[in-house]
Structure 1
Amino acid sequence: MTTHISTLGELLTSAGTQWRVYDIGRRITKIDKKQFDQIENTQVPYPYPLGGHALMAIQFWDNQATLDPYVWFLKFPLDEQSKLNIASRDHFASMVIEALGTQLTGEAAQGKLDNNPYVYTPNANKLAAFNALMKCELKRPASKYYETVEQYFTSHGQTDWQSLALQGLADYALRLAHGQNQANLMALWSTLPAQVQSPLAAMLEHVSISTELTEFLQTQLHAHLTTDNLAGAINSFRAMSGSHGLGLIAQSVDQLLASEQSLEADILLTIAGRGWETLTEPDRLYTFMDKAAQNSQIEGLFESIFADLVAIPILRPHVLGLLRAQNRSETLSRAIGRLFS
Structure 2
Amino acid sequence: MTAQISTLGELLSAAGTQWRVYDIGRRITKIDKQHFAQIETTQAPYPYPLGGHALLAIQFWDNQATVDPYVWFLKFPLDEQSKLIVASRDHFASMVLEALGTELTGQQADGKLDNNPYVFTPNANKLAAFNALLKTELKRPASQYYEYTELYFSGKLPADDWQSLAVQGLADFAFRLDHGQNSENLQAIWASLPLEVKQPLSAMLEHVAIDTRFSEKLQNEINNSINENNLDELVCNLRAISGSHAQGLLAQSVDTILSSEYGRESDILLTLAGRCWEVFLDSERLFKFLESAAQNTKIEGLFASIFADLVAIPSLRPHVLGILRAENRSDDLSRAIGRLFS
TM-score bracket for the superposition, by shorter chain length: over 0.9
- The residue that corresponds to 1:236 in the other structure is 237
Partner of 1:109: 109
Give the deviation of 1:177 after TM superposition: 0.9
SS at match of 1:238: helix
Q: Which range moves more in the overlay, 24-33 or 211-220?
A: 211-220
Q: Is the 8 A contact 2:242 2:276 kept in 1?
A: yes
Are residues 309 and 156 of structure 1, via their aligned partners in 2, closer, same or farther at CA, if it must alter by over 3 Å? farther
Deviation of residue 34 (structure 1)?
A: 0.3
How much has 1:170 moved relative to structure 2?
Answer: 0.1
Residue 246 of structure 1: how far off its partner (Å): 1.0
1:258 matches 2:253: no
**What are the superposed Cα offsets for residues 135-193 of structure 1, whole Å, 9 maximum, x if unpaired?**
00000000001011111112265151000000000000001111111111011111111
- 8 Å contact kept, 2:66–2:106: no
- Superposition pairs for residues 290-309 of structure 1, below 5 Å? 290-309=291-310
Which deviates more, 87-96 or 222-231? 222-231
How far apart are 1:7 and its partner, in Å?
0.3
Question: For residues 79-118 of structure 1, what are the structure 2 equivalents within 5 Å?
Answer: 79-118=79-118
Residues 88-237 of structure 1 correspond to what in structure 2 (within 5 A)?
88-155=88-155, 158=158, 160-237=161-238
Conserved 8 A contact 2:66-2:105 = no
What do the CA deviations read for 1:218-265 (whole angstroms, capped 9, x no partner)?
111111111111111111111011112111111111011011111110
Say if 2:315 is the partner of 1:310. no
Counterparts of 2:209 and 2:280, CA distance in 1: 19
Range 44-53 or range 278-287, more displaced: 278-287
TM-score, with structure 1 as normaliser: 0.98
Could you tell me how far 1:48 is from its partner in structure 2?
A: 0.1
Residue 264 of structure 2 aligns to a residue whose secondary structure is coil
Q: Report how far residue 2 of structure 1 moved.
A: 5.2
Shift of 1:280: 1.0
Shift in Å at residue 64 of structure 1? 1.3
Query: What percent identity do the matched residue pairs reach?
Result: 70
Give the TM-score of the pair, scaled to structure 2: 0.98
Aligned Cα RMSD in Å? 1.1
- Amino acid in structure 2 at the alignment position of 1:62: D
The match for 2:281 is 280
**1:263 partner amino acid:** R
Asked if residue 337 in structure 1 is aligned to residue 341 in structure 2, the reply is: no
* Equivalent-residue separation in structure 2 for 1:239 and 1:155 (angstroms): 20
Aligned partners of 1:60 and 1:70 also within 8 Å: yes
Secondary structure of residue in 2 paired with 1:26: coil
Tell me the alpha carbon deviations over residues 60-96 of structure 1, each in whole angstroms, 9 at most, x when there is no partner.
0002144110000000000000000000000000000
SS at match of 2:75: strand
**Structure 1, gaps ≥5 residues long:** none
CA distance in 1, matches of 2:34, 2:250: 28
* 1:246 correspondence with 2:247: yes
